[in-house]
Amino acid sequence: MLERSRPLSPFLHYRWQYTNTLSILHRVTGIALAGGYLLLMCWLMAVAQGEVAYGRFVDRLAHPLFKVLLVLGLASFAHHFCNGLRHLFWDAGLGLERREARRSAWMVVVGVILIIALVGSVLHFRDGGMP
* DSSP per-residue codes, the chain: -----PPPPGGGGPPP-HHHHHHHHHHHHHHHHHHHHHHHHHHHHHHHH-HHHHHHHHHHHTSHHHHHHHHHHHHHHHHHHHHHHHHHHHHTT-S-SHHHHHHHHHHHHHHHHHHHHHHHHHHHHTTTS--
The pTM assigned to this predicted structure is 0.80
The string of pLDDT tens digits covering residues 36-90 is: 999 999 999 999 999 999 999 999 988 999 989 989 999 999 999 999 999 999 9
The string of pLDDT tens digits covering residues 10-26 is: 666 667 778 888 989 99
Residue 131 has pLDDT above 60, yes or no: no
pLDDT (0 to 100) of residue 125: 84
